[in-house]
Amino acid sequence: MRVAEPLILASDLLHARVQRFAAGETDDSFVGLALDIARFQASASEGFRRLVRARGASLEALDDVPPVPSEAFRLTRVATFPQDREAVRFFTSGTTGAERGAHAMRRTDTYEKLSLSYGRQALLAPGATAIVVALAPRLDTPPTSSLGYMMARFMDAFDDEPLGELEPHPPSASGARWLLDANGVNLPGLERVVRTASRTRRPILLLATAFALVRLLDDLAGARFPLPSGSVVMQTGGFKGRTREVSMEELRHGVTQAFQLGDRRVVGEYGMTELTSQLYEGTLRESALSARHPGAAPGIYFEPPWLRVAPVDPVTLQPVTEGDVGLARFIDLGNVDSAISVVTQDLVRRVEGGIQLLGRQAGAPARGCSLAIEALLDG
Amino acid sequence: MADDAAARRARVERLLEAARAVASPERGAGRALRARLLETTGLSAANIELGLTRCLELEPARQDLDDLLASTPTTRRAHVLLSGNVFVAALRAIAIGVAASAAVQVRASRRDPALAEALHALAPESFELTAKLQPEPGEHLWAYGSDATLADVRASLPVGVWFHPHGAGFGAAVVDARAWSPSAARALALDTALFDQRGCLSPRVVCVLGNLAQARDVAQAIARELVALEVELPPGPVSADDAAERRRRRDAAAYAFELFDAGSGWVSCSSELVIPPSARNLHVAPTADPSRSLGPFAAHLTCIAADDERRGALRKAFPGARLAALGQMQCPVLDGPVDRRQTPSGELA
């Protein structure tokens, strides 16, 4: 037996517990499971062990689990298993290849189950299906984008009919469903999808980055592009490094106008490569998520039961008073094999049972000719 | 317009005379400058004092001044844009300006104009302080600051201006594990702690000729010295934003590398060379070939500390970097710009 096998076995048992927890089929508590994962990571990851030691953490309470800064994913491999056991490696967005962060996964079934379960609760009515297409580039092989990978899983799980007789299977293998490339948005392709949807009387679930939606609105130049009744747009991501930025409110308005949708049919998603789980707005009235948060306003994101987000003080990393702004600290049960607790530079506030995203915390001011670390990380 | 060497030298000497006055704790100007620097630099009083007494180039050798004059082009009007990170750097920058022209316009750092203003108060004929530089075609502009600032300046220049950009950089040290000593650790810690590691000469990485275990020993020894130095050379006050960023960076480094506590900063160690953020932090890595290890960072390297035996090879590999002894990285002689990565003639806009 390889030396690492006992750790792999321990990890597999935790994956099984997390999947049961997400399915509501266990008496495990969130806290108990999170602490067990933290202790497992302290035994399996030298990096996390060092961080625990450096912080003098006992791992006996959630707030005592030191969060791993998202920058660590750019500095080193954040994983509890050897590289030759990687099933997939997702990269963070960045301007250069060498310094991009990565989130390696040994198995993808937990990621898929969690993403599909909560995505379905946020983006569809219970039991409903839709034609799923993405304003995103076609998924690489092997996949390198966690967002693209999730979109592909949504296509395969939420869409039970092919777009046409000749469409390959699974749906995510179809080039007709990926409607963004280096030339921009494939408007003729989107028109074909809309015609098919109208003919078959099915709604469309359009998965899109905010950047791609801006491109689409620019291309449409004010023209209307009505989507079939019941359609939904999932909007995700920001504008880092892009040429044009618009506010999320402005973008939502533009999208609803262009697609002739009610404004509650645009659902914001928040995810990051370093996490396994996602948050969604509860705007879609017929969704299970909205039923749990009736009247949820746009801009409020809700986490699933297997993810907890806490605004924390930037220095102590302890939770701030309810209603105060802090850095987003995620405790994600899905991150069995990476980092159970991750802290980012995103500023958030808890409000109405959810999370309000308030942008990124400004870094310390650059100091003259002392080389900023970002200059090296970003190339 | 003729500008003979004697006149140029006299102008530099006049500036140095003013610098000696403002550096003296016995003089009113010196005491006033110290009080002002406490407000403008964010450094501790001890760090300011050491910067003034150890790093301000007040008595350059004749040959060094010859070199400064020889490497500085003359111009009808010289323009100098100062940075605010290392306060003593203003003297060298203005000295290059007055070596270049009898008509010098200086825009001081908004954040830290103290030394430039103190020099101007004692030698007002040497240069003019201005809120806006307006170089004209044929004139020279020396600019110091972040790469982003320099890119903005470059983009704003009229065609025909000679531009001398001195941008972001950092220092490195190359040490032999077999010759390592407590005094070497102390010297390197001092290079790091001076100006709270804000300068482009400040060391950020240490290449250890040896194995990982030896690199670890070196890292530990430097960390110990940095801790000790915090008593006699305390770090400046830290803003809330700085504290948050330091916490985040430190935790990320603790996850990624072996980390040794160094007071307000840290010393990390791993088999690969990486650049830590600047707040009295160093990264130590073993190497068999320092030129190869430092190669990827050549564009940013401004200073390398090494023993005499290795300087020749390093000078050849990194012609843009100054070579220095440990403990002398922040004390470059006054022979021209600190940053040698640019050609002396500058670039034509």
Q: Which CATH number goes with the domain that contains B111?
A: 3.40.605.10
Residues B18 and B128 in one domain: yes
Q: Domain range holding B14?
A: 5-168
Average the pLDDT over B288-306 and give the result.
95
CA distances, B209 to each of B185, B214, B216, B225, B291 (Å): 15, 8, 12, 20, 11
Query: What is the value of pTM for the model shown?
Result: 0.89
DSSP-assigned letters across all residues of A27-41 = ---HHHHHHHHHHHH
Residues A138 and A268 in one domain: yes
- Residue A25: partners with Cβ closer than 8 Å, 6 or more residues away: none
Residues B237 and B299 in one domain: yes
Among A268, A299, A330, where does a domain finish?
Answer: A299
The answer to whether the CB of B166 falls within 8 A of the CB of B143 is yes
The pair of three-digit structure tokens given for residue B217, joined into one six-digit string: 């020993």
Of B85, B249, B254, nearest to A54 by CB-CB distance is B254
Q: Where are the alpha helices (DSSP H) in B159-264?
A: 182-193, 212-232, 240-256
* pLDDT band per the 50, 70, 90 thresholds, residue B112: very high
Q: Would residue A51 count as lying in a domain?
A: yes
Pairing assessment for the beta strands B170-176 and B203-209 based on DSSP bridges: parallel
At B85 the pLDDT is 86
The answer to whether the CB of A260 falls within 8 A of the CB of A224 is yes
* Number of structural domains chain A divides into: 2
Distance CA A329, CA A310 (A): 5
Report the mean per-residue pLDDT for chain A: 89
Q: How do residues A177-232 score in pLDDT, each as one tens digit? A: 999 988 889 999 999 999 999 999 999 999 999 889 999 999 999 889 899 999 99
Among B128, B147, B168, where does a domain finish?
Answer: B168
At B198 the pLDDT is 92
At A179 the pLDDT is 93
Residue type, A357: L
In this predicted structure, the answer to whether residue A57 has a pLDDT above a threshold of 90 is: yes
In this predicted structure, the answer to whether residue A353 has a pLDDT above a threshold of 50 is: yes
- Work out the minimum CA distance from A269 to partner chain B, whole angstroms: 26
In this predicted structure, the answer to whether residue A372 has a pLDDT above a threshold of 80 is: no
Binary contact (A54, B259; C-beta < 8 A)? yes
Q: How do residues B224-236 score in pLDDT, each as one tens digit? A: 999 999 999 999 9
Residues A279 and A359 in one domain: no
At B61 the pLDDT is 96
Residues B130 and B222 in one domain: no
Average the pLDDT over B161-184 and give the result.
95
∠ CA B141-B296-B286 to the nearest 5 degrees? 130
A244 touches chain B (CB under 8 A): no
Q: Would residue B130 count as lying in a domain?
A: yes
- Work out the minimum CA distance from B4 to partner chain A, whole angstroms: 33
Among B113, B135, B168, where does a domain finish?
Answer: B168
Distance CA A257, CA A224 (A): 7
* pLDDT band per the 50, 70, 90 thresholds, residue B249: very high
Of A50, A71, A369, nearest to B168 by CB-CB distance is A369
Q: Would residue B36 count as lying in a domain?
A: yes
Residues A129 and A208 in one domain: yes
At A100 the pLDDT is 79
Residues A193 and A127 in one domain: yes
Distance CA A226, CA B278 (A): 53
The pair of three-digit structure tokens given for residue B168, joined into one six-digit string: 């972001």
- The three-class DSSP label of residue B47 is helix
- Residue A195: partners with Cβ closer than 8 Å, 6 or more residues away: none
Residues A271 and A333 in one domain: no
- Work out the minimum CA distance from A77 to partner chain B, whole angstroms: 8
Among A240, A275, A299, where does a domain finish?
Answer: A299
Chain A residue closest to B149 (CA)? A368
A101 touches chain B (CB under 8 A): no
Residues B249 and B160 in one domain: no
Best CA proximity match to A336, nearest among A43, A84, A117, A18: A18
Which CATH number is A177's domain given? 3.40.50
Side-chain half-sphere CA neighbours of A213 within 13 A? 29
Binary contact (A370, B109; C-beta < 8 A)? no
- Work out the minimum CA distance from B103 to partner chain A, whole angstroms: 25
Percent of chain B residues past pLDDT 90, beyond the cut: 90
Residues A173 and A208 in one domain: yes
At B347 the pLDDT is 83
Q: Would residue A156 count as lying in a domain?
A: yes
Q: How do residues B186-201 score in pLDDT, each as one tens digit? A: 999 999 999 999 989 9
For CA atoms A206, A210, A212, A216, give the dihedral sign: positive
- Work out the minimum CA distance from A248 to partner chain B, whole angstroms: 26
- Total beta-carbon pairs less than 8 A apart between chain A and chain B: 128
Residues A57 and A168 in one domain: no
For CA atoms B310, B315, B317, B318, give the dihedral sign: positive
Q: Where are the beta strands (DSSP E) in chain A?
A: 68-69, 88-91, 102-105, 131-135, 180-181, 184-185, 204-209, 232-236, 266-270, 279-281, 300-302, 307-312, 325-332, 341-351, 354-360
DSSP-assigned letters across all residues of A89-131 = EEE---SSSTT--EEEES-SHHHHHHHHHHHHHHHS-TT---E
Binary contact (B248, A371; C-beta < 8 A)? no
Average the pLDDT over B345-349 and give the result.
82
- Residues on chain B touching A69 (C-beta within 8 angstroms): 248-249, 251-252, 255
Other CB atoms within 10 A of residue B312 CB: 11
In this predicted structure, the answer to whether residue A289 has a pLDDT above a threshold of 80 is: yes
Which CATH number is B267's domain given? 3.40.309.10
Q: How do residues A78-128 score in pLDDT, each as one tens digit? A: 999 999 999 999 998 754 444 678 999 999 999 999 999 999 999 999 999
The pair of three-digit structure tokens given for residue A170, joined into one six-digit string: 């699974």
Distance CA B328, CA B334 (A): 13
The pair of three-digit structure tokens given for residue A287, joined into one six-digit string: 């969704």
In this predicted structure, the answer to whether residue B12 has a pLDDT above a threshold of 80 is: yes
- Residues on chain B touching A76 (C-beta within 8 angstroms): 255-257
Q: Would residue B339 count as lying in a domain?
A: no
At A241 the pLDDT is 42
Which of these ranges, A98-102, A217-221, A275-279, B66-70, has the smallest mean pLDDT? A98-102
- Work out the minimum CA distance from B187 to partner chain A, whole angstroms: 20
Distance CA A122, CA A300 (A): 13
Of B169, B244, B339, nearest to A315 by CB-CB distance is B244
Exposure string for A269-292, b = 16+ CB within 10 A, e = fewer: bbbbbbbbbbbbbbbbeebebbee
Residues A143 and A266 in one domain: yes
Residues B248 and B300 in one domain: yes
Among B103, B138, B168, where does a domain finish?
Answer: B168
Residues B138 and B210 in one domain: no
* pLDDT band per the 50, 70, 90 thresholds, residue A243: very low
Distance CA A197, CA A125 (A): 17
Question: Does A170 sit behind a cis peptide bond, omega within 30 degrees of 0 on the bond before it?
Answer: yes
Other CB atoms within 10 A of residue B5 CB: 12
- The three-class DSSP label of residue A323 is coil
At A1 the pLDDT is 46
Best CA proximity match to A277, nearest among A103, A38, A161, A130: A103
Q: Would residue A325 count as lying in a domain?
A: yes
At A169 the pLDDT is 81
Among A299, A328, A353, where does a domain finish?
Answer: A299
At A95 the pLDDT is 41
Q: How do residues A116-164 score in pLDDT, each as one tens digit? A: 999 999 999 999 999 999 999 988 888 889 999 999 999 999 997 888 7
DSSP-assigned letters across all residues of A151-195 = HHHHHHHH--S-SSTT--SSGGG-GGGB-EETTEE-HHHHHHHHH
Residues A120 and A251 in one domain: yes
Distance CA A139, CA B202 (A): 44
Residues A288 and A343 in one domain: no
At A371 the pLDDT is 53
Taken as a whole, chain B contains a residue count of: 349
Residues B152 and B231 in one domain: no
- Residues on chain B touching A345 (C-beta within 8 angstroms): 248
* Number of structural domains chain B divides into: 2
Q: Would residue B178 count as lying in a domain?
A: yes
* pLDDT band per the 50, 70, 90 thresholds, residue A333: very high
Best CA proximity match to B84, nearest among A375, A364, A369: A369
Q: Domain range holding A36?
A: 1-78+306-379
- Work out the minimum CA distance from B82 to partner chain A, whole angstroms: 9
Average the pLDDT over B309-331 and give the result.
95
Residues B198 and B274 in one domain: yes
In this predicted structure, the answer to whether residue A367 has a pLDDT above a threshold of 70 is: no
Longest dimension (CA), chain A: 64
Of A66, A72, A369, nearest to B145 by CB-CB distance is A369
Residues B158 and B103 in one domain: yes
- Residue B344: partners with Cβ closer than 8 Å, 6 or more residues away: B71, B72, B73, B336
Average the pLDDT over B17-34 and give the result.
96
Residues A326 and A352 in one domain: yes
In this predicted structure, the answer to whether residue B303 has a pLDDT above a threshold of 90 is: yes
In this predicted structure, the answer to whether residue A309 has a pLDDT above a threshold of 70 is: yes
Binary contact (B204, A72; C-beta < 8 A)? no
The answer to whether the CB of B88 falls within 8 A of the CB of B52 is yes
DSSP-assigned letters across all residues of B293-343 = HHGGGGGGEEEEE--HHHHHHHHHH-TTSEEE-TT-TT---SSS-S--SS-
Binary contact (A50, B259; C-beta < 8 A)? yes
Residues B216 and B307 in one domain: yes
Chain A residue closest to B147 (CA)? A369
Q: Would residue B335 count as lying in a domain?
A: no
At B348 the pLDDT is 85
Residues B119 and B188 in one domain: no
A223 touches chain B (CB under 8 A): no
Average the pLDDT over A45-58 and give the result.
96
Report the mean per-residue pLDDT for chain B: 94
Q: What are phi and psi of B243, to 5 degrees?
A: -60, -40
Chain A residue closest to B246 (CA)? A315
- Chain A, 318-337: which have a CB under 8 Å from a chain B CB? 327
Binary contact (B200, A369; C-beta < 8 A)? yes
The answer to whether the CB of B196 falls within 8 A of the CB of B47 is yes
Residues B110 and B206 in one domain: no
The pair of three-digit structure tokens given for residue A173, joined into one six-digit string: 């293998």
Residues A237 and A271 in one domain: yes
Q: Would residue A328 count as lying in a domain?
A: yes
Chain B residue closest to A67 (CA)? B251
∠ CA A254-A256-A261 to the nearest 5 degrees? 165
Q: Select the residue from B85, B111, B152, B251 to test the A interface by mutation, using most A Cβ atoms within 10 A.
A: B251
Q: Would residue A88 count as lying in a domain?
A: no
Average the pLDDT over B46-57 and give the result.
96
Distance CA B135, CA B78 (A): 8
Exposure string for B286-310, b = 16+ CB within 10 A, e = fewer: bbeebbebbeebeebbbbbbbeeeb
Q: Would residue B329 count as lying in a domain?
A: no
